[in-house]
Structure 1
Amino acid sequence: MPATSPQLGLPRVGVVMARLIVDEEDRGIKPFVVWFNDGKEMNKGITSMVLLRRAGSKPLDHCITTFNHVRLQKSALLGDLQKPMDLRESFHSTIWRVSVGTLALATTLVPILKRSAFVAGKYSLRRHVNRPPNGSQPIVSFRTQHGPILHALAQVAVYEHYTDETVCNFVDMRLDIRVRQGIAAAFEAVLANDVQSSLFALSERCGAQGLFEYNNIIESQLEARGISIAEGDALVLCIRLASELILGRYSLPPAGNQQSLLARYEKCLFQYCCRLRARIDGDHRDDTFNTDVLPRCQALVEAIGYRMAYEAAQKAQVPPDLQNSFEARVVLQNSGWFTENIGLDMQAMLDMELRAMDSILPRLEQLLDSTDAEQYCTAPILSDQSWVRFISSLKTYRGNGSFNAQKGNSTLAAKI
């Protein structure tokens, strides 16, 4: 994945993780500073094979990079030659800043969702359909059209404050580093899944227009997928975090309100996973742990993230209807659990969503404008004027010929 090829005369340098062997003794994986190229030519022993463009990615030349007897200066080693007492712990200590990247990249999902909601919302307000006998009406008036947009705007409101809360906790040096890394992992896990789900729905609500990169949404979908993998695949982070929580190695900040729906959902999932663990004779690398616990790790970590996000929104006094929309969406996504454990039937869950949406809908345009996303949107479907400009810029073929197409005994005259 790293971009290592010579591009535009820009020299490239990177940190390479490699195993250090001294006098045939394995001293663990260490970081080395390595110059890949001088902007024109690769360094001796280094090969960079440029991959085809990744869908949705514009600026980076992703490469497969290999090394064959590359000689380095002694100063290239970051650290010392000594063998650490615990090789695994030393490696995790070396790469601790990966969690910084995890958090930093995940924060970009909020503006991505803002831009996509703005495009889908403005397009839905602009596009009309005929509806006799009252003439035309905007497609945004249909619940199936404005529903995903309203949910996305509620997510934006909640996740903005969740971002602020997460960053504050992550930089709090009083917290155990593992707790800080866990907070970042939960943040990425819940945003990566929830934002991608919304982006898919927003793209669909734009019909065929949602499939074109120039309309911003599917482009954002592809970027969001890349973010969910970069700096640690979200699923892998969930497995590690949930396993350590279940094993009792540390714990994340508890719920402020233990009786809220999302706090009860989190607590029940955690207790269920702990019961599964208690029935396993072996350790967490046992096959039974693999089959029974691992598939539930992502759901558990996402439940933690949902609860943290909801409490951050409450603390920041986000409008109650936006909070309720966020809560209703989580409940509906996990309806089976809430029916089985809380006694909510499907109609009660749908009524939660209905009340929230009915309250938010009159403020739709206001909420779209408050995202401040317009200056970052280039989608031609935003307005009639931008659509006309876009159409006039397209390469055009105009018909000026006449020809016949033969089919059986009939002749079809076509003039384009």
Structure 2
Amino acid sequence: MTATLTDTAPPSTAELLTGVLLGPDFRREHGFWQRLISTEPFRRPAGGTPGERLEVAYERLRILNRSLDNGARLAADLRALSALHAWLGPVDPALTTVAGIHYNLFLGSLLDHDAAGRRDLSDHLSMRRIGTFLCTEVAHGNNAAAMETTATYDRARDGFVLHTPNAGAQKFMPNTSPAGGAKSGLVAARLLADGSDHGVRLFLVRLTDDVRELPGVRVRRLPARMGSPVDHCLTSFDRLFVARDALLGDDQGDGPRGEFRTEPGDRRRRFLTAIGRVTPGRIALSACAAGSARATLAVAVRYGGHRLIPGSRGTRPVPVNAHRTHHGPLASAMATVFAMSLLHRRAHDRWEACTGEADRAEAVRLVDVSKAWITWRAREVIVQSRERCGAQALLENNGMTELVTGVEGAITAEGDNIALYTKAAADMLFATATATATATATATATASGEDRSEDAESGDLDDPRFLGRLLAAVEDIWFTRARARALRAPDADALGRWNAAAGPALRGVDAYAYREAAEAYADARRALPDGEARDRVGELERLFAVEWVARNSGDLLAAGFLSPAQVESLAETTEELIAAVAAHAPQLADAFALPAELLADWPIAGADYADAYDDPGAPWHTGPADAR
């Protein structure tokens, strides 16, 4: 008997669009988390004090941990960690924060430093002890390499004495209180032995039991932070002794008992190794910001579709989304949200694929810039979505207020955004000269009408390839200005040279992020089959690029990359693309694949949102039937 193949239905437009956002393997990578947040323990609780909400977050953390087959496997799987952040972020920002710290910064660092598996992690895998990470100090912020907490080797006891020498050296903002249960932490401290400084290393330290901090540890709650109610604290150490095996990576270049070898360059290498989980953390935070932006935008689109307002001159009511003043900002936000999601995947893929130091440096730069760009854009999208929903979106039960404030934490966490942009700007300032010269030449030829044989539609604002060259030209313009300004400053004044270049260089980094996002759009569109999904992505791609070109049209015109007629047509092109995207906004929002249970917990996401305000004791329920 001959076997026959079973026909498989081709993916729907919605499935193709979800694949664009979340990746072609989205069911495997994201399905577990979609199902988890649909279960009762993760449904949105009604109100509660900050303390009660924090208790819920830690209880959910334990439920999550029991749902895993292996917590160590999650900690080692950056795809799963990113998906965790993307789906838990819109549900419970506090849970997302403590889960990211426990699985990525704490467990992930332990696993990275113990490849042989000699350390017993059972307390942390079972969550008998919750893990946290203590790196940043009050006085040092982003300059963690200057930290002052010390771990002095005690030869007699073959261990280390952890000490906080002054107020500025207190560890700042780790979740080290006993809230949620006993805590352990990885403490970054400067290893001192025999009068030598061996650089910043990590030490595994028990911080609290279920009730209070342990001897030698001082924990004080910080003032309430806006947004999610995480137990952020100041933590210090008073000559706390820890055994030799508290030191992570003790077999990496150190000798036998009491011998610590530090060669030139070792201190920086070991510091970067100690905070190595920060880069995966930035990838996860990007996923969280993108997921939160998708959720708020989906709610805004749904609300705008069923919020009716009177039509003009007595015509029947129409959805508020029918008005350009309402759907225009949401269409632009939709193009941005797709760009955020695509840039996150692009940075993640490049990080996983990098080989060698040069590849890794470029991948880290893209991860860093993407984290900053995505979280900044998420703030814009979330605030715009909130505003489009009016006063109801200011109420906690409608899910947006916590995300409005939560994204502020993501902007600062794992490296302040401006610091990440500044580092990228310094690295790219002169390195881009050769690379962008090619892009400039190409864009110049296109704008002047030369080399038309390569692309018959060159110079057309409907052509993504032309738009892509314009985005590359914007990046080149700003870095060219930055280099020129730096070269005009005195050579002996390093700070003056940087200050002269910093403004345009940061604009260049922003343009780099837009270009990378546009290239991710192009890759996604080309990967789709001809049809509706490809058309939708193409419209979003062009709207995203045209709006950025419009913001830089003066510079592009002055540099000869755009003609006056093209600049004049930008406004009309933008309006046409906004209309095209707005017409399909509900379908695009459905591609976010948000579980029905999540949306049901936010009243304004449903057509019957007014029922959430019904009053059973009101006269329309209790009065005589003929009066109702």
Q: TM-score range by the shorter chain?
A: 0.7 to 0.9
Change (3 A) 1:249 1:71: farther
Match of 2:586 in 1: 365
From 257, 261, 278, the equivalent of 1:82 is 261
* Contact residue 489 and residue 497 of structure 2 kept, 8 A: yes
SS of the residue corresponding to residue 353 of structure 2 reads coil
* Contact residue 129 and residue 138 of structure 1 kept, 8 A: yes
> 1:249-398 alignment to 2 at 5 Å?
259=443, 260-282=469-491, 286-317=494-525, 319-341=537-559, 342-343=561-562, 347-373=568-594, 375=596, 376-377=598-599, 378-392=601-615
* Contact residue 220 and residue 235 of structure 2 kept, 8 A: yes
Change (3 A) 1:40 1:74: same
Instruction: Tell me the distance in 1 between the aligned counterparts of 2:363 and 2:433.
Output: 11
Change (3 A) 1:187 1:252: farther
Structure 1 residue 198 corresponds to structure 2 residue 198? no
Match of 2:225 in 1: 54
* Contact residue 187 and residue 203 of structure 2 kept, 8 A: yes
Match of 2:403 in 1: 220
* Contact residue 553 and residue 562 of structure 2 kept, 8 A: no
Structure 1 residue 73 corresponds to structure 2 residue 296? no
Structure 1 residue 98 corresponds to structure 2 residue 278? yes
SS of the residue corresponding to residue 273 of structure 1 reads helix
Deviations 1:41-96 (A, max 9, x none): 312121111224422214x2111111121111111122343224123444234323
The CA deviation at 1:336 is 4.3
Instruction: Tell me the distance in 2 between the aligned counterparts of 1:21 and 1:63.
Output: 26
Match of 2:342 in 1: 161
What amino acid does structure 2 have at the position aligned with 1:14?
G
Instruction: Tell me the distance in 2 between the aligned counterparts of 1:234 and 1:40.
Output: 36
Change (3 A) 1:265 1:253: closer
Match of 1:6 in 2: 178
Instruction: Tell me the distance in 1 between the aligned counterparts of 2:245 and 2:433.
Output: 37
The CA deviation at 1:236 is 0.1
User: Which stretch has the larger CA shift, 288-297 or 183-192?
Assistant: 288-297
Structure 1 residue 149 corresponds to structure 2 residue 330? yes
Match of 2:207 in 1: 36
* Contact residue 178 and residue 209 of structure 2 kept, 8 A: yes
* Contact residue 221 and residue 234 of structure 2 kept, 8 A: yes
Structure 1 residue 116 corresponds to structure 2 residue 296? yes
The CA deviation at 1:335 is 4.7
The CA deviation at 1:337 is 3.1
The CA deviation at 1:255 is 9.4
Instruction: Tell me the distance in 2 between the aligned counterparts of 1:339 and 1:352.
Output: 17
Match of 1:413 in 2: none
What amino acid does structure 2 have at the position aligned with 1:169?
R
* Contact residue 189 and residue 302 of structure 1 kept, 8 A: no
Deviations 1:135-183 (A, max 9, x none): 3222111112111211222223333332222211111232532222101
Change (3 A) 1:297 1:99: farther
Instruction: Tell me the distance in 2 between the aligned counterparts of 1:13 and 1:133.
Output: 66
What amino acid does structure 2 have at the position aligned with 1:113?
A
Change (3 A) 1:333 1:202: farther
Q: State the Cα RMSD in Å.
A: 2.8
Deviations 1:262-298 (A, max 9, x none): 1111122122222223233337x82313422223343
What amino acid does structure 1 have at the position aligned with 2:193?
V
The CA deviation at 1:106 is 0.9
The CA deviation at 1:392 is 4.2
User: Which stretch has the larger CA shift, 173-182 or 304-313?
Assistant: 173-182
> 1:127-146 alignment to 2 at 5 Å?
127-130=307-310, 131-146=312-327
Instruction: Tell me the distance in 1 between the aligned counterparts of 2:274 and 2:436.
Output: 25
The CA deviation at 1:343 is 4.2
Change (3 A) 1:336 1:33: farther
User: Which stretch has the larger CA shift, 384-393 or 363-372?
Assistant: 384-393
* % same residue: 24
Deviations 1:284-314 (A, max 9, x none): x823134222233432222111111111111
Change (3 A) 1:6 1:294: same
Instruction: Tell me the distance in 2 between the aligned counterparts of 1:254 and 1:105.
Output: 33
The CA deviation at 1:25 is 2.0
Deviations 1:217-247 (A, max 9, x none): 3322222111111111111011011101224
User: Which stretch has the larger CA shift, 274-283 or 220-229?
Assistant: 274-283
* Contact residue 127 and residue 138 of structure 1 kept, 8 A: yes
User: Which stretch has the larger CA shift, 247-256 or 173-182?
Assistant: 247-256
Runs of 4+ in structure 1 deviating by more than 6 angstroms, as ranges, are 249-257
What are the ranges of 5 or more consecutive residues in structure 1 without an aligned counterpart?
399-416
Structure 1 residue 188 corresponds to structure 2 residue 358? no
* Contact residue 328 and residue 582 of structure 2 kept, 8 A: no
* Contact residue 436 and residue 472 of structure 2 kept, 8 A: no
* Contact residue 179 and residue 252 of structure 1 kept, 8 A: no
From 60, 64, 74, the equivalent of 2:234 is 64
* Contact residue 242 and residue 300 of structure 1 kept, 8 A: yes
> 1:218-257 alignment to 2 at 5 Å?
218-248=401-431
Instruction: Tell me the distance in 1 between the aligned counterparts of 2:304 and 2:192.
Output: 61
Instruction: Tell me the distance in 2 between the aligned counterparts of 1:251 and 1:113.
Output: 36
What amino acid does structure 1 have at the position aligned with 2:287?
T
What amino acid does structure 2 have at the position aligned with 1:160?
S
Aligned pair count reads 393
User: Which stretch has the larger CA shift, 91-100 or 25-34?
Assistant: 91-100
The CA deviation at 1:330 is 2.0
* Contact residue 242 and residue 301 of structure 1 kept, 8 A: yes
Match of 1:402 in 2: none
Instruction: Tell me the distance in 2 between the aligned counterparts of 1:332 and 1:49.
Output: 50
SS of the residue corresponding to residue 39 of structure 1 reads coil
* Contact residue 214 and residue 379 of structure 1 kept, 8 A: yes
Instruction: Tell me the distance in 2 between the aligned counterparts of 1:254 and 1:141.
Output: 45
User: Which stretch has the larger CA shift, 189-198 or 225-234?
Assistant: 189-198
Change (3 A) 1:195 1:78: same
* Contact residue 17 and residue 29 of structure 1 kept, 8 A: yes
* Contact residue 245 and residue 251 of structure 1 kept, 8 A: no
Change (3 A) 1:335 1:62: farther
SS of the residue corresponding to residue 294 of structure 1 reads helix
* Contact residue 20 and residue 29 of structure 1 kept, 8 A: yes
